[in-house]
Structure formats: C-alpha cells, structure tokens
Structure 1
Amino acid sequence: MGTDRYAYQSRLRRVSPLPKLLLTAVTLAVCLCCNSVAVGLATLAVMGVLITALGGLPAGVFLRFVRIPLVFLAVGCVTILVHLYPAGTPVLAALPVGGRLLGFTAADLTLSARLFCKALGAVGCMYFLSLNTPVTDLTMALERLHVPRLMVELMELIYRFIFVLGETAAHIRLAQESRLGYRGLRRSLSSLGTLASMVFLRAWRKADRVYAALESRGYAGSLVTLGGAYRPGWGLCPLTAALAAGQLALFAVERRLFP
C-alpha cells in the first residue's frame, strides 16, 4: 500500500502515534465543525506543509495522494450544486430544460464550496496521519486508548486481507493478460467479469488458509505484538493547540467578512 510505504519512510515514523493521533483528531474536528472555505483550504495547506517539513516526504507525494479523492469530491459537490428550478427563479447560471431551469443559486454555490473545501481539509488531516503512521502503530495506539479489543482485531485482520485480495486480483489479471484477455472491448468485459467472480472465491480460500495458519501458531482471538521504541513527541501538543487556534481565528475572520 502506498501510504504505508511512505509512512515507514517518514521522519515521524518513530514518534509516538498518540500525539499524531491527537493532532489529527483535533484539527479534523475543528475543520468539520467550522464548515468554512478558508478553514478547509488552510487545513489542507498546513497538513501538506507538516507532511513535507516534519515528515520529510516530497511535496509531490502529498499532491499525488490529494488528487485521488478530488474526482469523488467534485462529483458529489456538483450533485449538490445543480438543481432544477421553476422558470423565473433568480439563479446565477442556468440552462432551460423543459420549461424549467437547470442551474444553481448563490446559496447552492456557497454550500457546495464549503462542503468541497471542508472535505479537502479532512482529507489533508487523514493524510497527515496515514503518511506518518503505519497501521500497526495506529492499532497499538488505539489499544492504549482502550478502544474495544474486538474492533482493533477486526481492523488488523481486515487490513491484512486487503493485501490478500489485491494480490489475488493481480495474479488473475496477469494470467488473463498473458492470454490476451484484454484485447478488444468484448473480450475485456468478459475477462473483467471472470476476474470479479473469481477473485473473491480465491481470496476467501487464501484467507481461510491464513486463519488456519494463525490458529496453528496459537491464535486465541488476539494478535500479540511488541510495542516499538517511540520518541515521546509531545512537542506536537503545542502545535496542535496553535493549529486549532489558527483555524478558529480564520473562521471568525471569514464570518466577519462574509456573514
């Protein structure tokens, strides 16, 4: 997985996951509660700076990951932005469709812009955590926070089986490509259908073998792992407070300028 590969390369890798989790949770909560264009964009920018300055990852890595959810966010915001209105409704832009207007008003534009920027800010917060904290460190932090053990175990097993599913799909697709299974639209659709039907069956069998291997090694409902030697990293706490204060100040200024 790309995020885990970069998380192990991050300079924050050996920092305790608890301060990183705190920073992510606080900035994410403030960003979502503010529902602001400026706060969302500022949160995204600050998280990018932290990933590159503190984590030591190239800026291109962060930008490449940010591009992934942009399509989904754009499609979701367009569905909120565009509506059908009766003829004569004051709108900013519209197209006549069967005696009605397909367009958007100023309120629709404001709502979709706030939603889009808020979601981008949330994505930036989650990328700060995922690009600087491997999943194994995160699950250990959740255990220390007394998250129910069953939930943590399910997270670990599901995360492991993501790789099982991906590896199985990659092997099936490679076999299909070696037999020219994706030459032409009709053959490609047929191969894709076969891939979809076979990947879950084979992944299920492989997952069952993995579970049997765990039981043969003494698995009794919990995965026992050794904790890492972390640096305290509590210097991130003042940074968390400063970021939250900056978000709230920016929100207050935006509401004063654009009530």
Structure 2
Amino acid sequence: MIAVDKLCYRSKLRYVNAGEKFTYSMLTLLFCIVSRSFVLSGAVLMVNTTLTVGKGGIPLRRYISLMAVPSAFLILSTLAIIVNISKIPLDGYALPVGTFFITGSKASVLFGLRLIVTALAAVSCLYFLSLNTTMTDIMSVLGGLRCPKIVLELMLLIYRYIFVLMETASAMLVSQKARLGNKDLKTSLRSFGRMGSGLLIRAFQRSGTLYDAMESRCYDGRIRVLEEQHPAKPSEIALIISYELVLLAYTVWRGVA
C-alpha cells in the first residue's frame, strides 16, 4: 500500500464527511491561487498543517517529508526567477564572480518567495484532502457533482493498477537484487531497462485478466463500490463557511487595495 494511502486510513479525520473536506480543500485552494498573497498563503499553510498533523494525527515527520518533495521542486524552479547572471549588480543582492555578478532584484526575490509559499499552501490543501479522505469517498463526492461515470471508472482502475504495478515492480526488483542485478552502474541500467519492459508486458497481461474477471462477474459498464455514509455536522459546516468567508473578504480587500 502507498504511504499516503496508509496515512489516510489511519487519519482521525477519515470519518469526517467527505463533502466537507472536499469543499474546504477546493475553496481554500481557489483563494490561494486567486489572491497570490504571501499572508493568506502562509496562514492557509499553517492552518492545513495544524488540521492534518494536529487533528488528523498524521506524524509531523512524515508530513514534512511529504512536503519536502514539492518544496525541493519549487526551490529549483524558482531559482530561474531569483538568480541572474549579469555584469550590472541589481538592488537585491550581488555576488561578484570574475567580471560578472550573480545577482537579483528585490522584486524578483519577493515574487519568488511569494510563488513558493503560494504553491506550498496549494499543495497543503491537496495533502489535507488526500491524507484524510479515502479514494472511494473522493469518487463518491465527484459522483455527486455529476462527474462523468467513465472518468470515475478510469480513476478507480488507475488507482487499483498503481498498487498492482508497484507490487509487480517490487517483486521484480527483489529478484534482480538476489541475482546481483545491481552490482555496478552498467548492470543496474540494464536491469532497470529489463524491469521496465517486463513491467509493461505484465501490465497488459494483468489488464486482460482483470477485464475477463469483470466480465465473468456480469460487468455492465459500471463499477459499483460500497460507500460509507458520514453525515455532515452543522458545527463543522459553520466553521468551514466562516473560514472561507474570511479568506474571501481578505482576497476582495487585497484586490481593491
């Protein structure tokens, strides 16, 4: 099972109404993108971290490790905005290297930092949803929003095949290690290529077997999944509405100002 999926099933917020969590995550994500505010994004990031770690019971170390992946990507991507090589030093900072300067302006540094915080706040919204809501609950909410059935079925099948392919790849990797398939770089690259080709063939075989199994169980074009019903609580709805109204008011105020 994927680590995110394990954390999701252990979350203390798992049995909170999925519609509430979906609405909270999507609206908060929308306000982060629209406002592009350092203050709003920072507040959203702290609130989502508190909810996921404090209320959901997700270990802080695991949450930080999950956030480290997009953080590293964002920092590397933002370097192109913050760092410039020029013969003329800019007002933000300037490090002399020979006849050139590694430099940047205050505006570019502030823009890069705001971009990083906004993106991390948006990622924290998605992590709040994925770490506290099961895939079946998310698809139930999307079904209630009249999402096309074919899209939901593809999501379910792809989600299922992630685990199938990971299990197959793990077994092939163990087999290669047992045969010293990673003893040096050349052998490792050859083994990786063979694992990829073998995994592709296994994927086609497993998909055919899966379809035959579905047909033998009277598959009529729709996959039915048992859904757990968790009624929404008025107090939680009131808190979500109040929070989103505060974000809306700040976004409007910042746009006017």
TM-score (norm 2): 0.88
Match of 1:2? Answer: 3
Within-5 A mapping of 1:204-215: 204-215=204-215
RMSD (Å) for aligned C-alpha atoms: 2.6
Structure 2 residue runs without a partner (length 5+) = none
The answer for the alignment partner of 2:137 in structure 1 is: 137
Q: Deviations over 1:128-172 (max 9, x none)?
A: 111110001110111011111111111111111111221121111
Report if aligned partners of 2:27, 2:244 keep a CA contact under 8 Å in 1.
yes
Query: What is the match of residue 220 of structure 1?
Result: 220
Report the Cα distance in structure 2 between the residues aligned to 1:217 and 1:103, rounded to whole angstroms: 65
The alpha-carbon deviation at position 29 of structure 1 amounts to 0.6
Question: How far is 1:229 from its partner?
Answer: 2.8
Cα distance change, pair 2–91 in 1 and its aligned pair in 2 (3 A): same
Q: Distance in 1 between matches of 2:176 and 2:190?
A: 11
Deviation of 1:27 after TM superposition, in Å, equals 0.8
**Which amino acid counterpart does residue 158 of structure 1 have in structure 2?**
I
Single out whichever of 110-119 and 47-56 deviates more from structure 2.
47-56
- Does the 8 Å contact 2:52/2:128 carry over to 1? yes
What are the within-5 Å matches in structure 2 for residues 171-250 of structure 1?
Answer: 171-247=171-247
Matched letter for residue 149 of structure 2: R
User: 1:1-259 counterparts in 2 under 5 A?
Assistant: 1-85=2-86, 87-88=87-88, 90-94=90-94, 101-247=101-247
- 1:188 corresponds to which letter in structure 2? S
C-alpha distance in structure 1 between counterparts of 2:60 and 2:245, whole Å: 25
Question: Is residue 11–residue 131 contact of structure 2 (8 Å, CA) maintained in 1?
Answer: yes
Give the direction of change, closer, same or farther, for the CA distance of 1:149–1:255 in structure 2 (3 Å limit): closer
For 2:54, the aligned partner's letter is A
Cα distance in 2 for partners of 1:212, 1:171 equals 24
Cα distance in 1, alignment partners of residues 74 and 83 from structure 2: 14
Amino acid at match of 2:43: A
Tell me if the contact between 1:168 and 1:203 (Cα under 8 Å) persists in the aligned partners.
no
Q: Secondary structure at the match of 2:103?
A: strand
Once the two structures are TM-superposed, the CA of residue 88 in structure 1 deviates from its matched residue by 2.9
Secondary structure at the counterpart of residue 132 of structure 2? coil
Question: How far 1:198 moved relative to its partner?
Answer: 2.0
Q: Is the 8 A contact 2:136 2:227 kept in 1?
A: no
Say which SS state the counterpart of residue 128 (structure 2) adopts: helix
